[in-house]
Structure 1
Amino acid sequence: MTVQPKHPVGSGEPVPPVERPEGKAYIIKDDAEAIAIAHDLAAQFRPGASERDRERIWPKDELDAFSQSGLWSINVPKAYGGPEVSYVTLSRVIAIISEADPSLGQLPQNHLGIVAAIRTVSDEEQKRQLFAEVLAGTRLGNAISEFGSKRAVDFETKFTDAGDHVVVNGRKFYATGALLAHRVPIVALDDQGRAWYAIADRGAPGLTVIDDWSSFGQRTTLSGTVILDNVKVPKTHLVPGYKGYDRPTADSAIFQIMQAAIDLGIARAAIADTIDFVKTKSRAWVDSGIDRASQDPYTIQAVGELSVRANAAEAVLDLAGHAVDRAVAEPNEQTVAKAQIAVMGAKILTTEIAIQAATKLFELAGTRSTLAEHNLDRHWRNARTHTLHDPVRWKYAIVGNYYLNGVNPPLHAWS
């Protein structure tokens, strides 16, 4: 069952916090089980994905199944009771889910990124407490980005020290997952201008989440505006996120590799729907002399090209996952830079194939594929929307500067 929002987009109405699922989440045993569970969930999510996109229906039950499956704790370290799968596996999981429904595939991205950050920057007591919550099934949304700042890294949200807790004030947008989260990590600055994750309870007084995400793509990522009016966050849940970027760590590459995996999933879905439509619905061209559109040599060539490019992107994504694993195990200037560069290469290729595949679909499938009843434009809308997260034109330049001039990439979550 899915849930239709009670308030129309743009209504400005606050959305109440969601009830947690009953029982603790499953804890996955190993990498192979993570992949198997991802495939099982994808099979459940795929049939309703088009309708959820068309009607903008919240995937409440799907999200509960996803977070209770154990896939939202797969990068919790083994020392704290987690599976600690490889980042090769983690990126494959995200791609598998995103192929079925890229909005659902995007929902754990910030959650898993913050789990990684906790590993990097938190003290032992905080790690034990927060990892235990994640393993039990706590879902983290996000309140990171802001709407009107000059750059994505410029934050106006701040907190003040109040003894055993801090008080947060500000306004956020692009808050993926916040609507149906259990906790909302807020990026807020201290009096020294350093950025922390203040992980607030979703039902905390003064924390308001508004369902006003009106993008034409990634429509059910449960995003919108988050208003923070004197929100209290206990210091047990105040994570020094800035420490992940004041020295070389894998944190930035981890946030980015999941973005690339989402785009790979979108590309695969577009290619699969192209093949299905051409085989079952498209007509052969009048001058082709053939009976079926699937026999068209130009279409065959184009599908071959799309498949090769998608497979290449997948292979580079795997290589990037191995580089991230090395940077996590031994973080230093060299391993972290190599991981960032490898992930940038994957992000470039997955961005380009997602947009190419979603566009080529209509050329190969023909006019009938544009009919609203098929909703195939969702692939292009999702690809175009999600790939705007961070521009690949900058990644080409950073990669070139690394190889040509030995300049390492900048350390932040968009690099």
Structure 2
Amino acid sequence: MTTSTLFTRSPWTGQADTAELDQWTAVATRVAGQLEGGALERDRTSALPHEPLDLLREAGLINLLIPSAFGGEGAHWETAFRAVRIIARVDASIGQLLGYHYLNQACVTFYGPDESRQAAWYTASAANQWVWSDSFNPVSPDLSIVWDDGTGTGTGTPGYRLNGLKRFATGAAVADKIIAGGIAEGGEFDGELVVFAVDGNRAGVEHQDDWDHLGYRASASGSVRYNNVLITADDVIGVDHEEPFSSIVTPGVQLLFGNIYLAVAEGALAQARTLTLARPNAWFLSTAERYADDPIVHRTVGELVARTRAVEALADALGRQFDTAIARGGATTAADRAELEIAIAGLKIVSTEVGLEVSSRVYEVTGASSTKSSIGLDVFWRNIRTHSLHDPVDYKKIEVGAHYLTGAVQPVSLYT
């Protein structure tokens, strides 16, 4: 394996124009319409989402962020986050798979060794419409990545041997490429944090199918076990040198979560509107003839809609800010990275709280009949309640508050 100088140019420049946003908003809306009818069944069966991913491929959404020079659609991150949000309104599991795909695919840029290798990865991904996932969960034990010259295993093929278990590997069971990494032992990358992309069905890659949680049931979030998996030079993306630019991937993940939680609120409101308009009569003490005309219902809905729209405005602004930040490439400074991190942490706070509130309080206007399992209104709350616990929002509040008062910035991690 050979090491190249890390490139410093980002393949994403400028901002999305109205035509781009309108085009892909329409595409994502159409796909969301196709996904909506099967969302509840996917939740109930925890089925691996192969068909939804095929819909995303057919619509061009899988290649959305790959530059056109490499065969992709050449869109911007603001557009991608908006597309994710539209999909997540009807199915948060599929929305997150798409968002993770974008961020893991972009590891080719964040950790990529040089522009020629970057071009090769993106060109192959676009041509094959690869779906990207990862098994980088920081709370799981580190993976073992040990150099083997080929004689120890008797294969004659030199490379690293990957072993270990990673939990919560969302999308890995249906992905073409899984981003993973760890500290290499021996070989060219000895002692370095090497990042690579392994085929999802390579020999020794075992998908445990052990996801059994309250929500996100269609997200293919089970564990991945690696048993002596061969990692060759062709699999290596690069080395994590802890540069500010490469670590922008984490604020990107947090921005994805903020958009997902917002989408949960928007989806819950949309279904609640339909259910409320269909309710006959009104409460016996009300002066209105229908629940939909009751001022108390109006007050509740108005409060929830206003808060949701405020979060939407913040998310849209941060989508554009992310495009500005990522365009800096290797010129990104620690201060640039910190500014982005704190801004997105603010979104994470309000989107979590609004998403939880809206998905719970919509029952106040939809009534007891909406608690039927066949209606599925509970999916929204179950999804956000499940996901938001993996990254406690109280620590985001501390992060934002400390920075506002003292200028303190949390150490860079896979959560900050």
Q: Which amino acid aligns with 1:312?
A: A
Q: Given the superposition, is the C-alpha separation of residues 31 and 196 from structure 1 closer, same or farther in structure 2, using an over 3 Å criterion?
A: farther
Name the structure 1 match of 2:334.
333
Could you say if the C-alpha distance between residues 242 and 48 of structure 1 is closer, same or farther in structure 2, counting changes exceeding 3 Å? same
- Counterpart residue identity of residue 171, structure 2: G
- Pick the aligned partner of 2:148 from 162, 166, 174: 162
Q: Counterparts of 1:69-84 in structure 2 under 5 Å?
A: 69-78=59-68, 80-84=70-74
**Does structure 1 residue 133 correspond to structure 2 residue 124?**
yes
Deviation at 1:31, TM superposition (A): 4.2
Q: Is the 8 A contact 1:256 1:413 kept in 2?
A: no
Quote the RMSD (CA, aligned, Å). 2.1
Match of 2:194, SS state, is: strand
Q: How far does residue 73 in structure 1 lie from its aligned partner after superposition?
A: 2.6
The alpha-carbon deviation at position 359 of structure 1 amounts to: 0.4
CA distance in 2, matches of 1:266, 1:318: 16
Which of these residues, 20, 25, 32, is aligned with residue 35 of structure 1?
25
Moved over 6 A (4+): none
Equivalent AA in structure 2 for residue 207 of structure 1: V
Structure 1 position 316 matched with structure 2 position 308? no
Match of 1:15 in 2: none
Which of 202, 213, 216 is matched with 1:215 structurally?
Answer: 213
1:388 maps to what in 2?
A: 389
1:253-268 mapped onto 2 (5 Å cutoff): 253-268=251-266
Counterpart of 1:398?
399
Corresponding letter in the other structure for 1:62: P
Matched ranges for 1:1-400 at <5 A: 30-78=20-68, 80-122=70-112, 123-136=114-127, 137-145=129-137, 152=138, 155-162=141-148, 165-191=159-185, 194-240=192-238, 242-243=240-241, 249-281=247-279, 283-330=281-328, 331-400=332-401
SS of equivalent residue, structure 2 residue 376:
coil
Q: 1:30 to 1:80 in 2, by over 3 A?
A: farther
**Bigger mean CA deviation after superposition, 177-186 or 156-165:** 156-165
Which piece of structure 1 moves more, 358-367 or 153-162? 153-162
Contact 1:282 1:368 in 2 (8 A): no
**Deviation at residue 30 of structure 1 after TM alignment:** 4.3
Q: Is the 8 A contact 2:140 2:166 kept in 1?
A: no
TM-score (norm 1): 0.86
Give deviations 1:42-100, integer Å, cap 9, x for gaps: 11111111122123233322211113432223222455443442222111111000002
Distance (whole Å) between structure 2 residues aligned to residue 313 and residue 353 of structure 1: 8
Q: 1:402 to 1:82 in 2, by over 3 A?
A: farther
Mapped partners of 1:62, 1:154: distance in 2: 28
Identity %: 29
Q: Compare 333-342 and 168-177 and name the one that shifted more.
A: 333-342
Moved more, 30-39 or 341-350: 30-39
Judged with a 3 Å threshold, the aligned counterparts in structure 2 of structure 1 residues 81 and 404 are, in CA distance, closer, same or farther, namely farther
Match of 2:15 in 1: none
Residues 328 and 154 (structure 1 numbering): CA distance in 2 closer, same or farther, change over 3 Å? same
2:194/2:238 contact within 8 Å kept: yes
| CA distance in 2: counterparts of 1:382 and 1:179, whole angstroms | 19
1:380 is displaced (CA, Å) by 0.8
Question: Is the contact between residue 81 and residue 99 of structure 2 (CA under 8 Å) also seen in structure 1?
Answer: no
The Cα of 1:410 is off from its aligned counterpart by 3.0
CA distance in 2, matches of 1:358, 1:43: 20
Secondary structure of the corresponding residue to residue 134 of structure 2:
coil
CA distance in structure 1 between the partners assigned to 2:160 and 2:367 by the alignment? 57
CA distance in 1, matches of 2:115, 2:352: 38
Q: Which moved more, 1:229-238 or 1:66-75?
A: 66-75
Give ranges in structure 1 of 5+ residues lacking alignment.
Answer: 1-28, 146-151
- Superimposed CA distance per residue, residues 144-169 of structure 1 (whole angstroms, 9 cap, x where no aligned partner): 22xxxxxx356421211235532100
TM-score by length of 2: 0.86
* Other structure's SS at 2:198 match: strand
Corresponding position of 1:408? 409
Deviation by residue 1:329-369 (Cα, 9 ceiling, x = unmatched): 22222322221122111111211111111100222211111
- Distance in 2 (CA, whole Å) between partners of 1:79 and 1:336 is 28
Over 3 Å counting, the alpha-carbon distance change for 1:202 and 1:247 in structure 2 is: closer
- For residue 57 of structure 2, what is the amino acid of its counterpart? S
User: Which moved further from structure 2: 136-145 or 69-78?
Assistant: 69-78
How far, CA to CA, are the matches of 2:313 and 2:163 in structure 1?
A: 43
- Unaligned residue ranges in structure 2 (runs of 5+): 1-18, 150-157
**Counterpart AA for 2:115:** E
Q: 1:268 Cα deviation (Å)?
A: 0.6
